[in-house]
Structures are given as C-alpha cells and as structure tokens.
C-alpha cells in the first residue's frame, strides 16, 4: 500500500459559482506567506463535516497544533479535559444548539486571552446590536480563499501576516 500524499488546496474562492469578469482581472502581487516560526494551538469548530475537513486541510501546513471539534460542546469538553491552552478559536458562527458567539464567550471564561476568528456567511447576525467585535475577535466572510483563511488566522494571532520568531500572540 502506498502512503497518501496530502493534496494541496488551491488558492481559489471557496464557492460553487464562476467568478465575474472583474474578479478575474490581474491582481497585484501578494506578499509571500513565510512559514510560521512559532507553534500555536488552534481549535477549529464547525458542525459541517466537509467544512471542518476543508479548514483542517487548509490550516495543516501552518505551524499549528490543530484541534478539531464538531460542536461547541465537544470543543468545551476538550478544553475541560486538557491542560494545554488554546491560542486561537476558529468557529462557524451559525451552528445548532450553541452558536459561535456563545462558544467564544464560554471559551474566554475558560481560556482568558484566546483569540477568536468567526467564519460566517451571516455577518449581520454576528454583529446584531453591536457595532464592533470584542478585542481579539475578527470574522472572515464566506466565501473566502484558502490564503484568506491563513492570512486572517495570522492577523488575529499576531497582528501581522509574517511574524518574526518569538512574536507573542496579540
């Protein structure tokens, strides 16, 4: 049996519609994403198994210890049983039983200082009566690209896309 080589996720918009002509025009060159020098612990929570798998595959090449959960309750159970902290929570906002905001609020009480990246197609629900997110929280509107997810995670964690070694989480 041959070992399977992981497939690279192309940096394309994660949607099922073709791009418009304006979106397909040439773009300015992007900054190279350098390997992260320091390891961070990242928890990914999404109730959709296909999205969970996709997020895991996109983030796997980064220097993260990834923990993947299918619900807020599973994520909280992990935190209760682990002595290791979580640096970044990447969560879907709209999930049954416990939404991403409820999960983030509970995680903050158990892991003070955790950063939160919501991925959502419903940013209007995310804000509700608020005009801005809490410090250390950000959101990534669906659909997004693989690179967009990697950049957003880095920006929430470090405040820059290519942090030098020893950069503390913000």
| pTM for this prediction | 0.78
Q: pLDDT tens digits for 65-93?
A: 999 999 999 999 999 998 888 999 999 98
In a domain, 29, yes or no: no
Q: pLDDT tens digits for 135-161?
A: 788 888 888 899 999 999 999 999 999
In a domain, 82, yes or no: yes
Q: What is the mean pLDDT of the chain?
A: 82
In a domain, 131, yes or no: yes
Residues of the domain holding 113: 40-158
Average pLDDT over residues 28-38: 80
In a domain, 65, yes or no: yes
In a domain, 14, yes or no: no
In a domain, 51, yes or no: yes
pLDDT score at 127: 52
- Sequence-separated (6 or more) residues with CB below 8 Å from residue 96: 47, 71
In a domain, 26, yes or no: no
pLDDT score at 166: 84
Indicate which CATH number applies to the domain containing 46: 3.40.50.2300
pLDDT score at 101: 87
Structure tokens at 50: 């296909």
Tally the domains of the chain. 1
CA 80 to chain centroid, in Å, comes to 21
In a domain, 104, yes or no: yes
């Amino acid at each position: 049996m041959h070992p399977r080589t992981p497939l690279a996720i192309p940096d394309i918009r994660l949607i099922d519609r073709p791009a418009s002509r304006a979106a397909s025009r040439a773009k300015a060159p992007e900054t190279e994403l350098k390997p992260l020098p320091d390891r961070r612990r990242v928890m990914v929570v999404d109730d959709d198994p296909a999205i969970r798998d996709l997020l895991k595959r996109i983030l796997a090449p980064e220097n993260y210890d990834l923990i993947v959960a299918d619900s807020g309750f599973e994520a909280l159970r992990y935190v209760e049983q682990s002595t290791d902290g979580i640096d970044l929570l990447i969560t879907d906002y709209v999930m049954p039983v416990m939404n991403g905001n409820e999960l983030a609020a509970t995680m903050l009480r158990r892991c003070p200082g955790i950063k939160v990246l919501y991925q959502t197609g419903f940013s209007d629900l995310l804000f509700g009566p608020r005009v801005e997110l809490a410090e250390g929280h950000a959101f990534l509107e669906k659909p997004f690209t693989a690179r967009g997810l990697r950049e957003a995670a880095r920006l929430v964690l470090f405040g820059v896309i290519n942090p030098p070694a020893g950069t503390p989480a913000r």
